[in-house]
Structure 1
């Protein structure tokens, strides 16, 4: 199967994304603070795009449920920093180990999406806020699925094969991402930032077992987040009325869905611009505060992911070599 283009555009997906944005845009006319959770709730549906058959489009429900449960779990432990840090490390190792079993079909999804959403949940601060955010995310997912049914069906998409890595390799990978995520979360709590889970989530979002993919995602996410933060700052400087902000919300979600089939890691540009534009308008902190926090914590998370990818496999190789040498001694 050929790779998708570096930057792909689909008017079909863009229209889908614009329709996804409508509830948040309408509610934003009444209270902009309520637009953020609704807009975030439909991001998984926008990222996944329209699948060809209605049965394939139901996959967004699985994705949304995974994201919602993970977000709530992170929020539930967020008041206790030590518990939150230890839990993310244990979860990373556990889920990575499960991913070695081809019968555990949800494990790869939890590894690539669920764990980062756990990190995002650490920023909620309480189980009640996490439950509300998870409910809105799940509601957005259901809405996205229902909206997708209005589009005609096409031929079924070719299913990519998922090769399973050896269990020992994935255990090492679990320790690798667990270390990066745990340190990211610990730093967030130690620094007392408003969103202590951002560095943890960034580390988990860019991490992949393949080092080339990790490097590409690290650069791509960093550049996309920086550009998205600058776009959000421009939107904030314009001081748009609620109606203008609703138009921007529709445009951002439409564009995000339109490029969802791209090989390049550009979706974070739109999600960052959307989230920060709504945060800046809803909370009292300055534009500079949100720019620095979002960009710096993302870069910290990316650097942690790269550092752990260098350190943990190297230590594992040394330990493995030492173990073999001891067993070979008479």
Structure 2
């Protein structure tokens, strides 16, 4: 099998992404926040592209449900900063441990989307708004699954099976991302920013459980997330019309799906634009008030993720190398 190109393009995937994006674009003409929530709901299907089996496509609905539930749970604990910080850490460790079992096929995708959206929920002003956003995300995922049925499935060998990971390694990884996300959330609450979950979301968007991926692609993913966050900030700074937001949602999903087969971490750029735009569209503060804050909190979250990725494994290796005292 020939290696995937660094940046791949598929017109077939792009056409699929355009169909996925249609409801989000249409709804954005009247209600941009609802349209972007629908767009976030189709992200898992866009990330899979058409390189997936029907079984994998069914998971899209479950992923959408987990993402919507994560956003809602984050909003429930947001009024209590200490509880919110502890919940971030506990969820990260728990999901990482589930990822150690290859039969838990949903767990890696919860790491990719569910945990960052829990961080986004910490920035919700009310649980009712988060609930409606979560339901829209679920609706988007159901639509994406139904659309995917119109395309034939890919062969099951297209994606290699996951191997079991040592629970000790995944426990260390859970502590790693748990510390990054919890400290990022704590900083957001302590600094009194208007979106305290922003840095937490950025930290969890960057992190990945595979250490080799982190070493080889960590910086690429970090640059993708930074670029996506900057674009989301610039879009909000421009105060776009509903029509412009509709065009943006359509283009982001179509182009992101078209490049979903890339070896480089291209897709996180597009997913970050949508996830962080979901937070920005209802912001009533002047642009000058929050632009640098958003960029700064994004950079803080990514820096914490990279710092934890260096520090926690080093401490774990040092602890493992200690001789066991005789009994």
Considering only CA atoms, is the larger Rg found in Structure 1 or Structure 2? 1
Equivalent runs, 1:277-288 vs 2, <5 Å = 282-288=282-288
Partners of 2:226 and 2:100 in 1: CA distance = 35
Is structure 2 residue 204 aligned with structure 1 residue 204? Answer: yes
Alpha-carbon displacement from aligned partner over 1:298-318 (angstroms, at most 9, x marks no partner) = 221221122112222333334
RMSD, aligned CA: 2.8
Alpha-carbon displacement from aligned partner over 1:133-167 (angstroms, at most 9, x marks no partner) = 11111000001111222234454453412122222
Residue 35 of structure 1 corresponds to 35
Residue 294 of structure 1 corresponds to 294
Partners of 2:239 and 2:202 in 1: CA distance = 29
Q: Contact between 1:230 and 1:291, CA under 8 Å: does it hold in 2?
A: no
Partners of 2:266 and 2:114 in 1: CA distance = 20
Q: Contact between 1:36 and 1:279, CA under 8 Å: does it hold in 2?
A: no
SS of corresponding position for 1:83? helix
Q: Could you list the runs of 5+ residues in structure 1 that have no partner in the other structure?
A: none
Alpha carbons of structure 1 residues 99 and 211: separation in structure 2 relative to 1, 3 Å: closer
Please, which moves more after superposition, 29-38 or 82-91? 29-38
Alpha-carbon displacement from aligned partner over 1:44-102 (angstroms, at most 9, x marks no partner) = 22222234544442231232222222222222211111001111112222232333334
Question: How far apart are 1:286 and its partner, in Å?
Answer: 3.9
Partners of 2:29 and 2:2 in 1: CA distance = 43
Residue 69 of structure 1 corresponds to 69
Partners of 1:170 and 1:275 in 2: CA distance = 26
Alpha carbons of structure 1 residues 124 and 277: separation in structure 2 relative to 1, 3 Å: closer
Alpha-carbon displacement from aligned partner over 1:14-72 (angstroms, at most 9, x marks no partner) = 11222222222222222334323222222222222234544442231232222222222
Q: Contact between 2:228 and 2:270, CA under 8 Å: does it hold in 1?
A: yes
Residue 143 of structure 1 corresponds to 143
Question: How far apart are 1:241 and its partner, in Å?
Answer: 4.2
SS of corresponding position for 2:165? coil
Q: Contact between 2:86 and 2:182, CA under 8 Å: does it hold in 1?
A: yes
Q: Contact between 2:53 and 2:156, CA under 8 Å: does it hold in 1?
A: yes
Question: How far apart are 1:119 and its partner, in Å?
Answer: 1.7
Q: Could you list the runs of 5+ residues in structure 2 that have no partner in the other structure?
A: none
Alpha-carbon displacement from aligned partner over 1:190-245 (angstroms, at most 9, x marks no partner) = 12223222222222222234444224544223322443355456656766543344
Residue 20 of structure 1 corresponds to 20
Partners of 1:74 and 1:237 in 2: CA distance = 26
TM-score, scaled to structure 2: 0.86
Residue 9 of structure 1 corresponds to 9
Residue 266 of structure 1 corresponds to 266
Q: Contact between 2:229 and 2:298, CA under 8 Å: does it hold in 1?
A: no
Alpha-carbon displacement from aligned partner over 1:264-295 (angstroms, at most 9, x marks no partner) = 11223323444566766653334455543333
TM-score, scaled to structure 1: 0.86
Q: Contact between 1:8 and 1:259, CA under 8 Å: does it hold in 2?
A: yes
SS of corresponding position for 2:29? helix
Partners of 1:74 and 1:162 in 2: CA distance = 29
Residue 116 of structure 1 corresponds to 116
Residue 127 of structure 1 corresponds to 127
